Amino acid sequence: MAIKTLHLPIFIGMTARFFSINNMTPLTHYRPCLIWMAAFSLCACSMTVQTIKDININGLIIIQQAYQQAVMTAHTDSQYAWNNGRLGNIIVNVNGEPNRGLCHHWQQLVYKGIQPALLETGWKATGIAINEGSFFEHHAVLVYDPGKISMEDILKDTKKSDSYVLDPWSSGEARVYTVGNWVKLPVTIKVKPRLTKVDIMSANSSLP
């Protein structure tokens, strides 16, 4: 992709500004066209990664229920318009508030929404990031049972790691992945996954 080193929102803004200056046409006239052009350019092939559909782990079942409720509440949010996937990123970056839907928005919302379930089950949650600092940077929420695995061991061998990633960003659905499958999602991996903190103080969601 010829413009992969140029941040997409900057590219869109520069293109729109060119059209506006040269044709004296407002940015809003071109915005729908630019969004769809950008979305089309971002529809690169990604790996089909299996999600966990039939959860039979007691603690994870309770967490999944809270997770589903958080995602459902986002879709009925009267304060923000929630979007998902690459097109959602473009909508948020181009149009701004009241749109939400960047991966860190979903991460904060999910992390906040599952807190009661964590207290009930004794499970722990943290952030997980991959490709940090690159165009392909992505964030989600990771949950695990500290009685079965320590935080320090989660990323030592992701294929065997007894931990799970909650990541609704791509679909707007409450999808659950093993951490081993989640790290296969990016088209390319430039920076290895890392566990991170989640700042829910900046998550201005209308969730209770």
Which tens digit of pLDDT belongs to each residue from 127-172? 999 999 998 999 999 999 999 999 999 999 988 888 999 999 999 9
Same domain (yes/no): 37, 69: no
Same domain (yes/no): 12, 65: no
For residue 167, give the nearest of 184, 189, 155, 152 by alpha carbon: 184
Question: 138 with 129: CB under 8 angstroms?
Answer: yes
For residue 121, give the nearest of 141, 149, 150, 143 by alpha carbon: 143
Same domain (yes/no): 181, 137: yes
In this predicted structure, what is the pLDDT of residue 201? 61
124-130 and 99-100 strand pairing? unpaired
Question: 118 with 166: CB under 8 angstroms?
Answer: no
In this predicted structure, what is the pLDDT of residue 192? 95
In this predicted structure, what is the pLDDT of residue 200? 76
- Is 133 part of a structural domain of the chain? yes
Total tally of structural domains belonging to the chain:
2
SS3 content of the chain, % helix, strand, coil (to 5): 40, 15, 45
In this predicted structure, what is the pLDDT of residue 113? 97
Domain that includes residue 29, residue range: 8-41
In this predicted structure, what is the pLDDT of residue 127? 97
In this predicted structure, what is the pLDDT of residue 183? 94
124-130 and 194-196 strand pairing? antiparallel
Same domain (yes/no): 27, 67: no
In this predicted structure, what is the pLDDT of residue 206? 36
Same domain (yes/no): 136, 166: yes
- Is 91 part of a structural domain of the chain? no
**Distance separating alpha carbons of residues 86 and 92, to the nearest angstrom:** 10
The whole-model pTM stands at 0.77
